[in-house]
Amino acid sequence: QVQLVESGGGLVQAEGSLRLSCAASGSILSINDMGWYRQAPGKQRELVAVFTSGGSTNYADSVKGRLTISRDNAKNTVSLQMNSLKPEDTDVYYCSAKVWTGASNRFMNYWGKGTLVTVSS
């Protein structure tokens, strides 16, 4: 079993900053991509940023230049530094990781429970 635990959400004023962190634990043999997604009520979950196992990063166009994803492979953690936040960034943010546990022959996708980020105008 694999657990992803997010932390760092909260309330911040527009143009402020927050840092989200996510730690993966459990029966982990290897982690492929780690990333952050967000979802507003009634909307589909969307990619915010991903950090691949190869070391590359991809961002949603709406967050480029404001949000930065980082990863610590030794600690199985991924973080999201969020600067110049806007009210439209208000969402529940979910950590995601593709993990190989050895229970199957492929990487499986796991999700955290989410952390709420609220940006006030």
Digit-coded pLDDT (tens) for 57-80: 999 999 999 999 999 999 999 999
DSSP 3-state of 3: strand
Question: pLDDT grade, residue 112 (50/70/90)?
Answer: very high
On the question of pLDDT at 87 being above 90, the answer is yes
Question: In sequence order, what DSSP letters do the residues of 29-93 get, joined into one string?
Answer: SEEEEEEEEEE-TTS--EEEEEE-TTS-EEE-GGGTTTEEEEEETTTTEEEEEE-S--GGG-EEE
- Please give the average per-residue pLDDT across 15-29, as a whole number: 97
The two tokens of residue 25 are: 């634990």
- What CA–CA distance (Å, rounded) separates 79 from 12? 18
CB atoms within 10 A of CB 8: 16
Is residue 32 within 8 Å of residue 55, measured between CB atoms? no
